[in-house]
Structures are given as structure tokens and as C-alpha cells.
Amino acid sequence: MMRAWLLLVGLSAFAIAAPAGAQSGHAGHGSTAPMPAPEKPAPAGNGNHAQMDMTTDPACAPEHAAMGHCTPTERKPAPVDAPADPACLPEHAAMGHCKPADEAPAPPVGAVGTDLPAGDTPAPAPPADWYADRVFPSAEMEHSRHAMMAENGAQTTAFLSFNLAEYQARQGGDGYRWDAEGWYGGDVNRVTVKSEGEGSFGEAIESVETQLLYSRAVDPYFNLQAGIRQDLGAGPDRTYAAIGFEGLAPYWFEVEGALFLSNKGDLSARIEGYYDQRITQRVILQPMAELNFAAQDVPEIGIGSGPSEMELGLRLRYEIVREFAPYVGVEWARKFGDTARIARAAGEDAGGVSLVMGVRAWF
């Protein structure tokens, strides 16, 4: 019994020791001594001889650099192609963030005309040779060039318009009225003739006014005018020196104004204007206004001092063609102050309304 117990204990101890020995044999190739743990690399710096000798590597990936396997090469930012900046500081210019104003790029070699940078450099000389002169005689081409410039920049033209040519149905007797203007000249200098007047059927012409003016353009929209005015009609004739303007105001208002000084020393003024309101491409509504002033009483021609007369008109025309347009409308006229008093003393009305119909034309 005792032998059996001892045998059982021996077998148990052998069974426990066998795996441990096998494990130790595999680890040390037959040696039962445990293997030492691997040493960690010494930290770099502070004179430690175990510091890793890593040089900068242009191919060092960011994840390898994060694990300490390599050191990436320091890369400078590419210079920024910034425009010249007068407030660019030297340190910012050194980093390529901006470009000082005094370091603007030089113009390309051979640059001329609009390829040159802005500055006060004298303009290049105009070309002295013409390509056509290589094929045709120079004298003939010079004549052609002169004719072309005259036709496109210094040509003379003529124009005649009847803004009003109408029949007026009014109380006390129907009448007529006209307002015309013509000119001859170029874009800047012109000779202008203006004529207007009115009368009643079956009677002598009440008034005729004619102006002969020199007109000069002072900008693309306005002309200054100076000349003489001659009045004819029922009253005494008068001759005036005239100076004024004519043009297109903002929002397409046609305006005209003038001062008149007669040979008797009478001073008067006039301002008028109209506007073409297009309802369609052919139907146009034209409101019109005119106001006259006088500096003194002139009873012999029925004029009193101050605002003397006002006219307001509204005409609707249909343009059969641009040059010819019949119209219908209404006109209101009124005399003021001493002018109205002189008219009443002569047995005339101081104001009234007329229905009008006529033609507007230009050539």
C-alpha cells in the first residue's frame, strides 16, 4: 500500500515538471536561464552617448516622424505672387507674403503701347509709315486719308425741322402758328436760323420772330448761341442782340433759353422746353412749356415788366415715319401783370385755351 502511494506522488511530480522544462528548452535552445528584457533607447540630448543619430530626411513621412523613426526636412513656404503693396514690411517680403511697391516687376522686353505699365512715360510716336503706301502711290493714299477724316470728323450737314405747324381753334377767331429751326455746319460750329409766329385767318400776321445765330457746341449735349433777332408784325419792328443756349438736359428734356437786348434798350428773356414721352414706338405725347420775362414796360409792343406771358401745351402725335408725324392737342396761354393790363386796355383777352392740330416734320 505504501509503495503504491509513493509511486502515485512521483508520477504527479513528473507530470508537472515536464511542460515547464519543455517551455524553457524552446526559449533558450536548451538553456533553462530566463532571457533578459530588451533595453529601451536612451533619450536624446544632454550629452547622452546613446542618443540616436538621425539626419533630416526629405522622404520622411509624417507618421514615421511622429514615432521618432526619422526627421523630416524643413520646407519653406513657396513665395506668394502678391501684387505690389506699399505697406509691405521687409520681414513679410522676406517670407514671400507680399511684394514691396518699389519692387514692381519690370515690363517685358520690347513692350510698347498699352503693354507698358501706367506712368508718366512720354507716349510713343505715331507710326510714320502706312501699309497701303507699299501697294499704292503715297500721294493718292494721303488724299484718300484726308477725305476720310473730313467725312468722319469734320463733315458739314444741313437740318430743317418744323416742331409746330398747326391750326388753332380758339375763341374769337381761329388762327395758325409755326415754330421752325434749321442749321448748317459741323459737329462743333453751326449757323442756326429760328423762326416762329402766329396769326388769325383773314387778318394780318400778328407776330413774326426770326433769329440768325452762331451756335457752338460746348459739350456733347449743349450749344451756346449768339446772334441777332428781328421782330415783324402788327406793332413796331424791333431788332435785338441775342445770346442763349440750347441742348438736351438730363432725363431727355429739350431746353432752350435766351436773353434779348433791343435797339431801344429793352431787355427781355425767354425759357422753354419740351419732353417726348413715348407711349409706343410711333405714338408720342409731348408736353411743352414757355415763359417770357421783361425788365421794363414797353407799351408800344404790348409788354409789361416782370413775367409777361406763359404757354403750356400738350400734343399727341403719331409718327407715320420718323420725319413726318401729324398731331392733335391743346394749348393754354396766359398774360400776366402789366402785360395783361395792356392787353385788356386794347380790347384783347389776357388768356385762353386753343385746340390744335398740325404736323411735325424734319428734313
CATH number at residue 303: 2.40.160.40
Residue 232 resides in a domain = yes
Residue 309 resides in a domain = yes
pLDDT at 120: 77
C-alpha–C-alpha distance, residues 59 and 339, integer Å: 104
Residue 111 resides in a domain = no
- Count CB neighbours of 34 within 10 A: 9
Contact 116, 126 (CB under 8 A): no
Residue 195 resides in a domain = yes
Q: What are the backbone dihedrals phi and psi of residue 129, each rounded to the nearest 5 degrees, phi first?
A: -115, 150
C-alpha–C-alpha distance, residues 94 and 97, integer Å: 8
Residue 177 resides in a domain = yes
C-alpha–C-alpha distance, residues 195 and 233, integer Å: 13
C-alpha–C-alpha distance, residues 211 and 229, integer Å: 4
Residue 266 resides in a domain = yes
pLDDT at 91: 74
β pairing state of 56-57 and 175-185 = unpaired
Count structural domains, the chain.
1
DSSP letters, 124-139, are: PPPP---GGGGTS-HH
Model confidence, pTM: 0.61
Residue 7 resides in a domain = no
Rg of the chain, C-alpha, whole Å: 52
Q: List the domain range (segments joined by +) for residue 171.
A: 158-362
pLDDT in tens, the chain (363 residues): 555 555 555 555 454 544 444 444 444 444 444 444 444 444 444 444 444 444 566 667 777 777 777 776 665 554 545 556 666 777 777 777 776 665 556 667 777 777 777 777 777 777 778 888 889 998 999 999 888 887 777 788 899 999 999 999 988 789 999 999 999 998 899 999 999 999 999 888 989 999 999 999 999 999 999 999 999 987 788 999 999 999 999 999 999 999 999 999 999 999 999 999 999 999 999 999 999 999 999 998 999 999 999 999 999 999 999 999 999 999 999 999 999 999 999 888 889 999 999 999 999
Residue 207 resides in a domain = yes
